[in-house]
A and B are shown apart, each in its own frame.
Chain A
Amino acid sequence: IELTQSPGTLSLSPGERATLSCRASQSVSGNYLAWYQQTPGQAPRLLIYGAFRRATGIPDRFSGSGSGTDFTLTISRLEPEDFGMYYCQHYGSSLIKPHMYTFGQGTKLEIK
């Protein structure tokens, strides 16, 4: 399964709403879809797992939604610390590829 994120770059101002997309090459279970934030020089941070469940300590301005092949990460009101790279990730398991993790190529959220 391949994950395609769009847009590649999103330019917005603090206070605005951000909508990031992650499309899977085939239908997947939302239970296995996660989102990460990565700021320069830092390790990725888990934001959302199970498509819509916020990880511990993640502000409620971050929300996840979607099903099937289309998933969305929404940031309701951008704070200065929200700008950086965002990745979606999927866990898949099949007879040929048991226990496999795949990342999207990322969306860069930059200050306009």
Chain B
Amino acid sequence: QLQLQESGPGLVKSSETLSLNCTVSGGSLTSTSYYWGWIRQPPGKGLEWIGSIYFSGSTYYNPSLRSRVTVSLDTSKSQFSLKLTSVTAADTAVYYCARITDYAFDSWGQGTLVTVSS
């Protein structure tokens, strides 16, 4: 059974870089059938797609975040990662990783809260 697990610091200082990993078990990051993505949800608010990556390394980003976001893949560790630079309080959110198939997010990690402190 596919499982995704986010990991990384829960507290990041303003202007620094947020870094998260998503470890995938029970499935392969090299499958041609799936993309892998990051989504976030500020406290009490809705969902926002951040970016996605394909096994080939092709990446796609939300235009509103593109200048600050990098998503990468490490198949040897069964992980994909998110880096978000120059964070502010507006980046405080629960960050989810997910698998994408048929243009929908069909499996999600449990999410990890990242708080940006001043």
B48-A43 in contact (CB<8A): no
Give A2 to B7 CA distance when docked, in angstroms: 31
B49-A44 in contact (CB<8A): no
A49-B60 in contact (CB<8A): no
Q: Which of A31, A43, A56 contacts B103 (CB 8 A)?
A: A31
Interface residues on B, range: 20 to 34
List of A residues within 8 angstroms of B63 by Cβ: 97, 100
Is A50 in contact with chain B by the CB < 8 A criterion?
yes
A43-B106 in contact (CB<8A): no
B104-A105 in contact (CB<8A): no
B103-A44 in contact (CB<8A): no
Interface-centre pick from A50, A97, A99 (highest chain B CB count, 10 A): A99
Give A54 to B11 CA distance when docked, in angstroms: 37
Interface size in chain A (residues, C-beta < 8 A): 26
Interface-centre pick from B39, B47, B111 (highest chain A CB count, 10 A): B47
29 sampled A-B residue pairs with Cβ under 8 A: A31-B103, A34-B104, A34-B105, A36-B47, A36-B105, A43-B110, A44-B47, A44-B96, A46-B104, A46-B106, A46-B107, A49-B102, A49-B104, A50-B103, A53-B102, A55-B106, A89-B47, A89-B105, A100-B49, A100-B62, A100-B63, A101-B39, A101-B49, A101-B62, A101-B105, A103-B48, A104-B46, A105-B46, A106-B46
- Measured CB to CB, the residues of B under 8 A from A are 37, 39, 46-49, 52, 60, 62-63, 96, 102-111
* Beyond known contacts A43-B109, A101-B37: 20 more, CB 8 A cutoff: A31-B103, A34-B104, A36-B47, A44-B96, A46-B105, A49-B103, A49-B104, A49-B106, A55-B104, A56-B106, A87-B47, A89-B105, A91-B103, A99-B52, A100-B60, A100-B62, A100-B63, A101-B62, A103-B46, A103-B48
